[in-house]
Amino acid sequence: MAKRILALFLAAVLSLSLLAGCATAPKEEPKDEPKEQPGEQTEEPKKPDFKVGFVTDTGGIDDRSFNQGTWEGIKKYADENGWEEGKQYKYIQSNEEADYIPNLSAFGDEGYNLVIAAGFLFEEAMNTVADQYPDTNFAIIDAVVEKPNVASVVFAEEQGSYLVGVAAAKATKTKKVGFVGGMDFPLIRKFHAGFVAGVHSVDPFIEVVSQYAGSFGDPGKGQQIASTMYEQGVDIIYHAAGGTGNGVINEAKNRVENGEKVWVIGVDKDQYEDGKLADGKSVVLTSMMKRVDVAAYNVIEAAVKGEFPGGKVTALTLKDNGVGIPEENPNLSEDIIKVIESYKDKIINGEIIVPKTMDELKTFEENL
């Protein structure tokens, strides 16, 4: 009997084991995988390279003035961001005004994101081309073009010119200074009026001799005009003439090397180095800095960030440090710099309103 009970017990245990072995393991639920929605991409598409084109005026890329200063601002941004010249940024040089529209259009045809033009002479061309390439952003320095895809940058040239006029009045020994303009346009009249106002604010009896060269790219004409002025007793010439002004600087260098004591005041960028002589000294008394490099840099930066100021006008003044004299002026005494700074403060706080036209200059001088 006991054996029979033991056998039945072992059979029951065996049956339970078989049932356990045959049981199906719990089925593991699949993990929810993110599903790609129609029209979505799992990876952000690579953005195409941003490209900047620069069109010079007839003064050329190496005018040591306006064009060169603008290009330096472009190169500064490019260098800081590892851009390759010729691929992400480049310039086209204009040999004559007839080149402006074709040169601007060339960048539009090549799909450049931003096209910068240096100089008010581009105003008409920019108005035309901006309409033809509505998807291209343009920037014009020194003029206003009222188009939604154009950013305009202008300067208070008269304010910076006033300061170098003060410098000329304090430094002249002959009481006779000169002004050489490139072309006779309202913009260059701002340089002219501001300079004379600065000179006569210091001494209304100083004579200012003025002449326009009719070109921004004729150094020979600039040198000829400067030679005549120096022969007339002028000892300091302020030029607002782009590449033509290089001839003014060359004439001053020749005369100083021959023992004369004459000076030049540079424009747009610090031209001290351009006026250097063999002994390391320079004939450049100071320069009226017009920060076209800053203007170019800022507009590129804004465009790359998607903040391009299309349809807007940016005005750079003494208060904005958009114009002024260089931080270092080896040929100006501390006393002269202090006088310049005092006039600068008066302009910034509104005590002095610098004339922008020759008519305003006349009124200004009547109230001195």
- Tens of pLDDT along 65-79? 789 999 999 999 999
Same-domain status, 114 and 221: no
Amino acid at 126: M
Instruction: Specify the pTM.
Output: 0.78
Q: Which pLDDT band, with edges at 50, 70 and 90, does 48 fall under?
A: low
Across the range 260-281, mean pLDDT stands at: 96
Exposed e or buried b per residue across 208-243, where buried means at least 16 C-beta atoms within 10 angstroms of its C-beta: bbebbbebbbbbebbbbbbbebbeeebbbbbbbbbb
Q: Is residue 261 part of a domain?
A: yes
Q: Is residue 105 part of a domain?
A: yes
Q: Is residue 14 part of a domain?
A: no
pLDDT at position 227, please?
A: 98
| 27-41, 45-59, 142-156, 296-310: segment of lowest average pLDDT | 27-41
Can you read off the two tokens belonging to residue 133? 């390439």
Dihedral of alpha carbons 323, 327, 329, 334, sign: positive
Same-domain status, 240 and 344: yes
Cα–Cα dist 337/326, whole Å: 11
pLDDT at position 19, please?
A: 38
In tens, the pLDDT along 283-323 reads: 999 999 999 999 999 999 999 999 999 999 999 999 988 99
Q: Is residue 308 part of a domain?
A: no
Minimal CA–CA distance to 182: which of 112, 238, 110? 238
Same-domain status, 213 and 200: yes
Same-domain status, 166 and 192: yes
Q: Is residue 115 part of a domain?
A: yes
* DSSP 8-state symbol, 276: B
Same-domain status, 346 and 227: yes
The upper half-sphere exposure of residue 132, i.e. CA atoms within 13 Å in the direction of its Cβ, equals 14
Q: Is residue 361 part of a domain?
A: yes
Domain that holds residue 92: 52-155
The upper half-sphere exposure of residue 304, i.e. CA atoms within 13 Å in the direction of its Cβ, equals 17
Q: Is residue 15 part of a domain?
A: no
Same-domain status, 342 and 211: yes
Total domain count, the chain = 2
Same-domain status, 150 and 195: no
CB atoms within 10 A of CB 145: 23
pLDDT at position 16, please?
A: 42
Cβ contacts of 344 within 8 Å, gap of 6 or more: 163, 318, 324
The residue count of the chain comes to 368
Between the CA of residue 304 and those of 80, 102, 137, what are the distances in Å? 13, 25, 11
Same-domain status, 228 and 353: yes
| Residue 240's CATH number | 3.40.50.2300
Could you give the residue ranges of the DSSP H alpha helices within 271-314?
A: 292-304
Same-domain status, 119 and 92: yes
Same-domain status, 237 and 111: no
For residue 176, the SS3 value is strand
Amino acid at 148: P
Cβ contacts of 172 within 8 Å, gap of 6 or more: 206, 235, 236
Instruction: Write phi, then psi, for 230 (nearest 5 degrees).
Output: -65, -35
The domain boundary residue, chosen from 135, 155, 175: 155
Same-domain status, 77 and 173: no
Higher pLDDT, 237 or 65: 237
Amino acid at 122: F
The domain boundary residue, chosen from 155, 187, 205: 155
CA 128 to chain CA mean position, Å: 22
